[in-house]
Amino acid sequence: MRLLLVDDEEELVSTLAERLTMRGIDATWVTNYQEALAAVEREHFDLALLDVRLPQMNGLELKRLIAARRPEMKFIFLTGHGSEEDFEACSAESGPEYYLIKPVQIEVLMAKINELTQS
């Protein structure tokens, strides 16, 4: 079970990665889309957790780029904003239940991850 975390907040993404690792998930984190794309090129991931508002490229476009390379990958969006436009666009891509607003309790996140990986 390999997970890619993409968020420009390093403090957040590193800590979250560490906590997920404690829970038995092989989590890798990056803070921008270039690194994210590089990681996807390099390695295999089952799942990506994407921030919607990334510098230079939003999470949705990133998701499309990744999905083009790795069609089998699943996605969860994580955002602090939750505007109507974001919600509509992202839930159209991934389903509204995988659009999460920060802060998220680790148990909730784990539940979503399990749902996605088991389906």
Partner 1 sequence: MPLLDRFKPKFLDHHDQSSGMYKSLFNFRLLWKQSIAITLAVVLLPLFTLAFVNYRVSTDAVESELLLRTSRLVSNARRTLTAYLHERIIALNFLILDTSFEQLNSQTRLGDLLNHLKSGLGEWHDLGLIDHTGIQVNYAGPDNLRGIDYSRQEWYSKLNYKDQESYHDTIGMRSDISDIFLGFRKAPHLVVSVLHNNPEGQHYILRAGLQIAPLNNILTHLEVRGDGDAFLINHKGVIQTPSRYYGEIMTRFPLPVPPPSDRTEVFEGKDHLGRAIVTGYAYITGTPFILMVIKQKSTLMAGWEAARTKLLIFLAGSVLAILAVVFSICTYLVNSIYRADQKRLASLHQVEYANKMASIGRLSAGVAHEINNPLAIINEKAGLIKDLFTFRQEYANDHRLIGLVEAIIAAVDRCATITRQLLNFARNIQVTLQKVDIRQVVADVLAFQNKEAGYRNIEIKVAISEDVPEFFSDRGKLQQIFINLVNNAFAAMKEGGRLEILCRLSDDGSHIVTKVSDTGCGIPPENIKKIFEPFFTTKSGSGGTGLGLSITYGLVREIGGTIDIESTIDTGTSFTITLPVEYPKQQGEHNAPIAG
Binding footprint of partner 1 on the chain (CB under 8 A): 9, 11-12, 15-16, 18-19, 22, 58, 60, 80-89, 91, 101-106
**The pair of three-digit structure tokens given for residue 16, joined into one six-digit string:** 């979250």
Contact 4, 26 (CB under 8 A): no
Task: Considering the complex, state which of residue 58 and residue 94 has its C-beta at the smaller distance from partner 1.
Answer: 58
Residues in contact with 36: Cβ distance below 8 Å, sequence separation at least 6, in sequence order: 4, 6, 30, 48, 62, 66
Q: Give least dist CB 14 to partner 1, A.
A: 9
Q: Give least dist CB 102 to partner 1, A.
A: 4
Within a 13 Å sphere around the CA of 48, how many CA atoms are in the beta-carbon half? 30
Q: Give least dist CB 22 to partner 1, A.
A: 5
Q: Give least dist CB 58 to partner 1, A.
A: 6
Task: Considering the complex, state which of residue 47 and residue 79 has its C-beta at the smaller distance from partner 1.
Answer: 79
Distance (Å, whole) CA 84 – CA 94: 15
Task: Considering the complex, state which of residue 44 and residue 95 has its C-beta at the smaller distance from partner 1.
Answer: 95
Taking every pair of C-alpha atoms in the chain, what is the biggest distance, in angstroms? 35
